[in-house]
Amino acid sequence: MTRPLNVAVVMVTLVIIVSLAPYVGAQRQQVDQKVTDPQAAIKAAAAAFKLAQPIPNFAAPKKPWGDPDISGTYLVATYTPLQRPERLKDKAFFTEDEAINELARVIGQDAEVDPRNVHYDWKEYGMDGWQSPIRPSLRTSLIVDPPDGRIPPLSAEGQKRRADRQAAARVRAPEVSVRTLASTYTRCITGNAAGGPYVRGGNPDPVNTTGSEAGVTAEIQILQSPGYVAIITQSNSDVRIIPLDGSPMPPPNVRTWLGIARGHWEGNTLVVLTTNFNDKTPATNFQGSTENLKMTERFTLVNPTTVKYEYTLEDPHTWTRPWSVESYIPRVPPGIFEFACHESNYGVMNVVKGAQTREKELIDKGLPIGAAGGAAGGGGQ
């Protein structure tokens, strides 16, 4: 009875392999390596923004089997914060000029890197967000519901869980706490989009930090075949295979790090419902949500080069109400970065091993953890 599913999965896998064959083993840059001038990047982003507005009632091209064609490689990085900053609390939208000026402001901050204070300058490798085909946004936050552009308050259970995690972190040395090996991402098991959506918010704003950095692992590739959609993220090369055939969800005891997804088409919009997330240590799902997270994503091609990407998150064990995000992700030239994690990063391993050894010595001596070096109270969060 499982033979049709196995054959279908093999077919999807072959589609993925064939599509990725030109890029395997090579790290490909998405942008012109000569883009080192932030002002030039701002002008290019403004021009792309004006030329790539949504087209009302846009008719997406079709695949040979009839599904709307949304395949391609997309940039999911953004400078728009997840939550609306306090300084913009009564302003949901920018004017076009304001949006461009805001992008110029944050690009200026991002590009001002003092090499004396960082390990290396990201822009030297073409990896700063503004060196990609990033665009301004008329929205002052990604969150569109609640109307204030903010994540809803935590539920009582969510508040207790966060407090417990913070308390546990404070009694351990930072080197062995959740800050260093916080999740499956820092352990190179999953990418940084595991347990949540693709667009998560721009770099924290020094004027009003809102968290949720976009990072530099910012491409996804959408592949389509009859009855399936596959989405690959650059980060850890994670793959989601999404059946579109109406097959039922597995029982609640079947869970994965990325959740389990089912999709369907509503006109030109791909709707994807994902549940059955994993919440085992060291996993931490998006914004601290639990395995009960329900994520509904919507992908709509609104012009030849842009997908409108929306998602709604529901988890009564974490928030007092559902909340929703809207963003626009541009299509970029094909090929995504080859992912590398902690290869040859002996510093991380040695720091953690040393801290764990010191911690064991304290325990063996009957001393409280954190007694050495004043580590108590300094753990990650």
Q: What is the pLDDT of residue 2?
A: 35
Q: What is the pLDDT of residue 379?
A: 30
State how far the alpha carbon of 275 is from the alpha carbons of 145, 193, 211, 321, 369, in Å: 21, 15, 25, 17, 38
Largest CA distance in the chain: 71
Considering the chain, what is the average pLDDT of its residues? 79
State how far the alpha carbon of 362 is from the alpha carbons of 173, 255, 365, 369, in Å: 12, 38, 5, 6
% of residues, the chain, pLDDT over 90: 43
Which residues contact residue 312 at a Cβ distance below 8 angstroms, ignoring those fewer than 6 apart? 145, 295, 296, 322, 323, 324, 325
For residue 348, the 8-state DSSP code is: H
Cα-trace Rg, the chain? 22
Q: What is the pLDDT of residue 172?
A: 61
What digits encode the pLDDT tens for the residues 316-328?
999 999 999 999 9
What digits encode the pLDDT tens for the residues 38-60?
888 888 888 888 878 899 999 99
If one compares 29 and 203, the residue with the highest pLDDT of the two is 203
Residue 22 has pLDDT above 90, yes or no: no
Do 203 and 213 form a contact (C-beta atoms < 8 A)? yes
Residue 375 has pLDDT above 50, yes or no: no
